[in-house]
Amino acid sequence: MTTAVQGLSSLLELLGQLSRSSEPALRGLFDAAEPLLVARAPGRLDVMGGFADYSGSLVLELPIREAAFVAVQRRSEPWVEIVSEGIGPGAGPRRHARFALGELQRCTQSYALAREYFQEDARQAWAAYALGALVALRVEQGCELRGGLSVLVASSVPEGKGVSSSASLEVASLTALAGVQGISIDPLRAALLCQRVENLVAGAPCGVMDQMTSSCGSEGQLLPIVCQPAELQPGFPLPPTLALWGIDSGTRHEVSGADYGQVRVAAFMGYRWLAEARGLRARATGSEGLVAIDDPDWDGYLARVPRAEFEQNYRQLLPERCLGADFLDRFAGITDPITRVRRDVEYRVRAATEHPVYEHARASEFRELLQRPELGAGLEPPRSLLERLGSLLYEAHASYSACGLGSAGTDRLVELVRELGPGRGLYGAKITGGGSGGTVAVLGRAASGPDVQAVLQRYARETGRVPQLFAGSSPGAAAFGVRQLRHGTGGWQLEPAEGSAR
C-alpha cells in the first residue's frame, strides 16, 4: 500500500492549486468543511495476450506505478462539475466540464442515451470515461443519481501511450462514485461494469483485461486472466532475477482507432468461417450484422481452438483478405455485439484469426516458464530458458504487425532491444495492448536498467522523441479502497485507513 499512498502527494498538491485558483468555479470546486472520498486505480503494462482478450486468450498483465486518483464530494447545487488534470511526465491539459443534474438523471437511464448525450459535444466527450460510471451504477446496481457532485480526476497515467489511461480512469471513477453513494462493488464485477462503460458509453471496443488489472491487480505481480469472459487466476511475482519495463514509442495509441476495430472484426469473421467448417449452426438475432452460433466446443472463443487443430483443419480455409461486402453476402454477420462488418473495408482475416490461437499458446508457455524452479531466488537461470521467454515476446510482436497493428516507432524500439540482446541482459520486447503505436514491453535482467536507458537514449537521438519509461508497480483499486480526505490547517489530508494507527 505504501506505493499507492505515496502517489497521493500529487493529488493533494493539485487540490491546493485549485483552492488558490483565480477561476471561481475551480476555487470553489470542493467545500473544505466536508470530506472528500478518494479512489485510486493504476494503469497496466500488457506483457502477453494483448488484444487477443476479446477472443478469450490468457493474458498476463502488470499494474504499473502510474495511476488515476478520483476525488468526489456531494454538492447542493443541481449540477455535476468535473475537473481533470494530468500529472507527471506527459501530463495533458486541464479539462473542465459542468453537466446539469436533470440532464444526467435523464441520460443515465440507459447506455444508449448516455452515449448519445456525451457525444453531442466533442469538447465534453472525455467525461464519458468518468461519468459513464453513473450509468453503470444506475442500470446495473439500481443507484440513481439524487444530487449534485464535484469530481476531480488527477492521473499520472499518460494518454495515448497504450498503458490503459481509460481503464484506470473508469475504475477509479466507478469506485469513488459508488463510495459516495454508500455501496461497495466486488472488484471483478467493478471491472466488468467499467468495460461496459468503455464499450457502450465511450464507444471503444475494448476487451476486459485493462479494467480487471486496474481493479484487481496486486503490486509487483503478473495477473493472469483467461478472458472467457473474465476468469481471474492466481497472480505471481516476477522472478527476482528478472524485470519488466515499458518504453513509450511516442506514437499515439488509440483503442477506438480504425485499425484496432478492423482487426477485431476480422477475428470474428474468421471465427465465423471456422464455425461453418465445423458444422456449427448460426441463427439471426434480429440485429443487422449480428448472428448467434451454438458452439458447445469453443463457446465462441478462438483462443479455445487448439493450435495443432487450427493448423491442420482450418488455417488454409481462411482467406488472407476479404472484402466486408463479400463476407456479409455469404455469412450475414458476426457474433461480436460491439462491432459490425463494414461492406467497404477489406479485412486481414487469416492473420487476425490465427493471432488469438497462437497468442493463447504463447501466453500459456510464457507463464509456465516464468514459474519454473530454475528462476527461483539465488539461482542462475539457464540462458536457453531466458531466450525462449524473449522469443515468445518477439513472436507476439511479429503477429501484431501481421494483423496490421504495428508501427515504425514500436518496431524500432524492439529492434534496439534485440540489438543489445542477451549479452546485455535484454531478452525480448513486444508492442502492447491494442497496438498501432503506444508502449513496448521489455523483459530483461533486474540489473539491466542502464541498458534499458541506453535504448531510450538511442531512440530519442534517432527520432527526436523523448520516450517515457514505465518501471515499477503498484496495487489495484481494490487494494486501495475508498479513502477519505479532510481539510485541516495544512490543507487536505488523508485520514488513516480503518484499523491503522492514528
Half-sphere exposure of 482 (CA within 13 A, CB side): 22
- pTM of the complete model: 0.92
Residue 2's pLDDT is 59
Among 427, 482, 412, 396, smallest CA distance to 179 is for: 482
From the candidates 46, 210, 259, 451, give the one annotated as an active-site residue.
210
For residue 322, what are the β-bridge partners? 347
Residue 250's pLDDT is 87
What b-and-e string marks burial along 357-393, b requiring 16 or more CB atoms within 10 Å of the CB? bbbbbbbbebbebbeeeebeeeeebeeeebeebbebb
d(CA 19, CA 22): 9
CATH code given to domain 2-41+68-217+476-485 = 3.30.230.10
State the DSSP H helix or E strand holding residue 482, giving kind and residue range, or none if neither.
none
d(CA 253, CA 16): 32
Q: What backbone torsions phi and psi does residue 64 show, to the nearest 5 degrees?
A: -95, 175
Boundaries of every domain in the chain: 2-41+68-217+476-485, 258-345, 353-471
Is 210 among the residues known to form the active site?
A: yes
Residue 500's pLDDT is 41
Bond before 187 cis per omega within 30 degrees: no
One digit per residue, the tens of pLDDT, for the chain of length 502 reads 456 676 788 899 899 988 888 888 888 899 999 999 999 999 999 999 988 999 999 999 999 999 999 999 999 999 999 999 988 776 677 899 999 999 999 999 999 999 999 999 888 899 999 999 999 999 999 999 999 999 999 999 998 888 999 999 999 999 999 999 999 999 999 999 999 999 999 988 877 899 999 999 999 999 999 999 899 999 999 999 999 999 999 887 554 445 888 999 999 999 999 999 999 999 999 999 999 999 999 999 999 999 999 999 999 999 999 999 999 999 999 999 989 999 999 999 999 999 999 999 999 999 999 999 888 777 788 999 999 999 999 999 999 999 999 999 999 999 999 999 999 999 999 999 888 788 999 999 999 999 999 999 999 999 999 899 999 999 999 999 999 999 988 889 988 765 443 3
State the DSSP H helix or E strand holding residue 64, giving kind and residue range, or none if neither.
strand 58-75
Residues counted in the chain: 502
CATH code given to domain 353-471 = 3.30.70.890
Q: Which residue is listed with cell 462514485? A: 177
